[in-house]
């Protein structure tokens, strides 16, 4: 019986585009996607419960001296500010960091911070992808023009000889099935290559079969699809 492959991923990361490619290339190796907090994803990686992890930098690569971690940056995330729906900043298309000087900026963990924003305790700054995942009706997210940035990276246990680890790294970096397996150095532009490589979707029937082989595990099920932040543009007449 073929072994499975486990990839942990943090809130806001979107491994589904790479899972489709994995299922096309390695149909006999089930892919388990596990939604985790950053600390849990790294703990799974170091214990061997996960083969790779999609995390946000920086991370402590030398946490375990016997088996340090390796990581390649994939892409950069921009910041948004999450505010109550009736907040004055909710009317702005773009917010500047200086506009938050008089605000109570909540610095709790992002899930908890969103709850506090909804309770009118303050505003919160977070990656745009996280805000999308946590969006609710009583808050809105506005692009923070000069805010912080985060890098999402793929991490694995350094020195791994598992060909499946190498294959997954190749997929997220856009390497085609025919290309060599040698790993090049990472860069932020790899996101564009990865997007192009992951856009080759199988025919509808085959795609449905592929999706059934990917098991996504979440801490708790979402009852509804998160709403994308930002102002909806009116239709042109």
Quote the pTM value.
0.73
Nearest by Cα to 171 from 179, 112, 159, 215: 179
Cβ count near 104 (within 10 Å)? 13
Q: pLDDT truncated to tens, each residue of the chain (237 aa)?
A: 458 999 999 999 999 999 999 999 999 999 999 999 999 999 999 999 999 999 999 999 887 667 789 999 999 999 999 999 999 999 999 999 999 999 999 999 999 999 999 999 999 999 999 999 999 999 999 999 999 999 999 999 987 668 999 999 999 998 876 664 444 333 333 333 333 333 333 334 444 444 445 566 655 444 444 444 544 555 554
Structure tokens at 83: 């505010």
Evaluate whether 5-74+151-217 and 79-144 have a shared fold: yes
Instruction: Report, at the CATH architecture level, how domain 79-144 is classified.
Output: 3-Layer(aba) Sandwich (3.40)
- For residue 191, say if its preceding peptide bond is cis, omega within 30 degrees of 0: no
- Sequence ranges of the domains in the chain: 5-74+151-217, 79-144
CB count in 10 Å sphere of residue 166 = 16
Spatial distance between the Cα atoms of 216 and 220, rounded to a whole number of angstroms: 11
Which architecture characterizes domain 5-74+151-217 according to CATH?
Answer: 3-Layer(aba) Sandwich (3.40)
Compute the 3-state secondary structure of the chain and give helix, strand, coil in percent, each to the nearest 5.
30, 25, 45
């Amino acid at each position: 019986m073929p072994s499975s492959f486990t990839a942990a991923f943090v809130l806001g990361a979107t491994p589904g585009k790479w899972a489709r490619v994995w299922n096309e290339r390695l149909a006999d190796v089930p892919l388990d996607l596990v939604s985790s907090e950053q600390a849990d994803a790294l703990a799974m990686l170091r214990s061997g419960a996960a083969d790779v992890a999609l995390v946000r930098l920086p991370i402590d690569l030398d946490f375990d001296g016997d088996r340090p971690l390796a990581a390649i940056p994939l892409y950069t995330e921009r910041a948004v500010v999450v505010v109550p729906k009736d907040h004055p900043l909710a009317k702005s298309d773009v917010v500047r960091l200086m506009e938050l000087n008089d605000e109570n900026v909540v610095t709790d963990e992002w899930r908890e911070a969103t709850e506090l924003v909804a309770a009118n305790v303050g505003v919160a700054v977070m990656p745009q992808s996280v805000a999308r995942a946590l969006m609710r009706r009583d808050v809105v997210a506005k692009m923070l023009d000069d805010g912080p940035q985060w890098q999402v990276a793929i991490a694995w246990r350094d020195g791994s000889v598992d060909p499946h680890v190498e294959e997954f790294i190749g997929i997220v970096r856009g390497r085609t099935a025919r290309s060599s397996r040698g790993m090049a150095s990472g860069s932020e532009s790899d996101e564009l290559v990865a997007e192009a490589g992951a856009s080759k979707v199988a025919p509808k029937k085959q795609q449905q079969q592929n999706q059934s082989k990917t098991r996504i595990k979440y801490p708790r099920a979402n009852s509804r699809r998160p709403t994308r932040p930002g102002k909806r543009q009116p239709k042109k007449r």
